[in-house]
Structure 1
Amino acid sequence: MYGIKNSGKGASCTTTKGTKTYSCISQTLQTADAKHSLSSLINLFVSGHMHRFQYTSITHSPEQIVVGTGGVSLASNHPAKQTSIQFGKQSGIVNGLSRFAYMTIDIDENSWKGKLVNPTQSRQPPATCSSSQSPVCKINQEN
């Protein structure tokens, strides 16, 4: 479930009048999740793809973190601040950043926590994430 705004550059996605259209790519996954909820089985999706870092929190769905900040050209950061979004009938938030880093995640039986690490910076990590915080990730604007 990516939080991607339809840019009009070849994106094919259906829209609903009066709503912002995010997640054009994942409408099939959203439909499947609505019929067969993953929430009771999966707490977190972690993936890499977009040449940036992004988290998506959707009501009644697993959290998603996309880490693509590890050594290739970074994409521009959109949205540049936490943004409310609509995923089908569910609401959520999306945020991200475009800074070089990699993510470490510690997992125990009932929770997880992670942080983006930029080895060239000694300041705070660019982002920290945890199953026990809301929103699931916090972006450090100082870096």
Structure 2
Amino acid sequence: MLLVSSCLLGFDCKYNGENNENEEALKLFENIQVIPICPESLAQLPIPRPPAEIQEGDGNDVLDGQAKVIDKHGRDLTSDFIEGAYQALQQAKMNGVNLALLKARSPSCGSCQIYSGNFDGKLKEGDGITAALFKRNGIKVYTEEETGQLLNKI
């Protein structure tokens, strides 16, 4: 069983009301059972909404209380993103999942790289909040850019 970011499966849950449908992610349905998740939807953030980025750190720093998630209008969404991450973790634990395919660069799901926090399109090293929480709990995280590597693990 595998957790997959809902937006990669074609669900219109992206901040702008669209999706990030990914053919390779959809093909996973053919081979294994997948559980769609969207931490931001689990936190009941509205769709659409202004984009949000992690400022002054990454998801680990947010979980440790040292960074915040701020939307483009300056609204602090830190507690919402943390809530969504913990709800996603609960889904993983309830289903015995130890692998996840998450959306690259997302402030929730990004793994190894996320947006800079300045809304300038630049990237920085680090994990999104859900990805960081998953990793802390022994769940291996891949992005849609690593689907080939993931398929070798299944």
TM-score, normalised by the number of residues in structure 1 = 0.25
Which structure carries more relative contact order (alpha carbon 8 Å, separation 6+)?
Answer: 2
Larger-gyration structure (1/2): 1
